Chains A and B, each alone.
Chain A
Amino acid sequence: MSKLQVENVSVSFGGSQVLKDISIHLEQGELVSLLGVSGSGKTTLFNVISGLLKPQSGTVVLNGEEITGKPGKISYMLQKDLLLPYRTIQDNVALPLIFQGMRKKAARKKASSMFEEFGLAGTETKYPSQLSGGMRQRAALLRTYMFSQDVALLDEPFSALDTLTKTQIHHWYLEVMEKIHLSTLFITHDIDEAILLSDRIYILTGKPGEILDEIVVKEPKPREADFALSDAFLEYKRTIIRRLEESGVTGVSL
Chain B
Amino acid sequence: MIRKFRNIIRSKGPAVVAILAIIGIWEFLCVSGAVPRYMLPTPGDVVTSLISDRELLWFNAKVTLQEAFYGLGIGIAIGFVFAVLMDMFETLYRALYPVMVLSQTIPTVAIAPLLVLWFGYEMKPKIILVVIASFFPIAVGLLDGFKSADPDSVNLLRSMGAGRWRIFRYLKAPSALPSFFSGLRIATAYSVVTAVISEWLGGFNGLGVYMTRVKKAYAFDKMFAVIILISIVSLVLIAIVSILERVCMPYRHLDDADRQDS
| A interface, CB within 8 angstroms of B | 47, 50-52, 71-76, 78-80, 82, 84-87, 95-96, 99-100, 126-127, 129-132, 134-135, 147
Task: Say yes or no for B170: interface residue by CB 8 A criterion.
Answer: yes
Please give, as numbers and ranges, the residues of chain B lying within 8 Å of A71 by CB-CB distance.
158-161
A129-B254, A130-B254 known; A82+B262 contact, CB < 8 A: no
B74-101 at interface with A (beta carbon < 8 Å): none
Say whether A84 contacts B258, CB under 8 Å: no
Please give, as numbers and ranges, the residues of chain B lying within 8 Å of A74 by CB-CB distance.
159
Task: Say yes or no for B55: interface residue by CB 8 A criterion.
Answer: no
Say whether B159 contacts A72, CB under 8 Å: yes
A71-B161, A99-B166, A129-B259 known; A78+B254 contact, CB < 8 A: no
Most buried by A among B157, B158, B160: B160
Say whether A78 contacts B251, CB under 8 Å: no
B69 to chain A minimum Cβ distance, whole angstroms, is 28
A166 to B119 Cα, complex, angstroms? 69
A95 to B169 Cα, complex, angstroms? 12
A156 to chain B minimum Cβ distance, whole angstroms, is 13
Please give, as numbers and ranges, the residues of chain B lying within 8 Å of A127 by CB-CB distance.
250-251, 254
B181 to chain A minimum Cβ distance, whole angstroms, is 13
Interface size on B, residues (CB 8 A): 26
Please give, as numbers and ranges, the residues of chain B lying within 8 Å of A76 by CB-CB distance.
156, 159
Please give, as numbers and ranges, the residues of chain A lying within 8 Å of B259 by CB-CB distance.
129-130
Say whether A52 contacts B155, CB under 8 Å: yes
Produce 1/0 per residue, B233-246, CB < 8 A to A.
Answer: 00000000000000
A80 to B150 Cα, complex, angstroms? 11
Other-chain contact of B171, A47, A52, A84, A129 (Cβ < 8 Å): A84
Could you list some 30 contacts between A and B, CB below 8 A? A51-B159, A52-B155, A71-B159, A72-B158, A72-B161, A75-B159, A78-B159, A80-B152, A82-B150, A82-B152, A82-B153, A84-B153, A84-B171, A85-B251, A86-B174, A86-B249, A87-B174, A99-B157, A99-B160, A99-B162, A99-B166, A126-B258, A126-B260, A127-B251, A129-B251, A130-B254, A130-B259, A132-B261, A132-B262, A135-B262
Task: Say yes or no for B177: interface residue by CB 8 A criterion.
Answer: yes
Q: Which residue of A lies closest to B166 (CB)?
A: A99
B152 to chain A minimum Cβ distance, whole angstroms, is 6
A80-B152, A82-B152, A86-B177 known; A52+B158 contact, CB < 8 A: yes
Please give, as numbers and ranges, the residues of chain A lying within 8 Å of B166 by CB-CB distance.
99
Produce 1/0 per residue, B158-180, CB < 8 A to A.
Answer: 11111000100011001101000
Say whether A82 contacts B156, CB under 8 Å: yes
B117 to chain A minimum Cβ distance, whole angstroms, is 47
A81 to chain B minimum Cβ distance, whole angstroms, is 10
A135 to B261 Cα, complex, angstroms? 9
| B interface, CB within 8 angstroms of A | 150, 152-153, 155-162, 166, 170-171, 174-175, 177, 249-251, 254, 258-262
Q: Which residue of A lies closest to B149 (CB)?
A: A84
A76 to B249 Cα, complex, angstroms? 28
Say whether B160 contacts A96, CB under 8 Å: yes
Other-chain contact of B260, A84, A95, A96, A130 (Cβ < 8 Å): A130
B166 to chain A minimum Cβ distance, whole angstroms, is 6
A17 to B155 Cα, complex, angstroms? 22
Q: Which residue of B lies closest to A153 (CB)?
A: B159
Please give, as numbers and ranges, the residues of chain B lying within 8 Å of A132 by CB-CB distance.
260-262
Say whether A86 contacts B155, CB under 8 Å: no
A73 to B161 Cα, complex, angstroms? 7
B142 to chain A minimum Cβ distance, whole angstroms, is 16
Say whether B254 contacts A95, CB under 8 Å: no
Say whether B159 contacts A50, CB under 8 Å: yes
Say whether B159 contacts A52, CB under 8 Å: yes
B253 to chain A minimum Cβ distance, whole angstroms, is 10
A34 to B157 Cα, complex, angstroms? 23
A72-B161, A99-B166 known; A78+B177 contact, CB < 8 A: no
Q: Which residue of B lies closest to A165 (CB)?
A: B262
A129 to B155 Cα, complex, angstroms? 21
Please give, as numbers and ranges, the residues of chain A lying within 8 Å of B170 by CB-CB distance.
84, 95
Say whether A84 contacts B174, CB under 8 Å: yes
B173 to chain A minimum Cβ distance, whole angstroms, is 10
Most buried by A among B159, B161, B177, B261: B159
Other-chain contact of B152, A51, A78, A86 (Cβ < 8 Å): A78
Please give, as numbers and ranges, the residues of chain A lying within 8 Å of B157 by CB-CB distance.
99
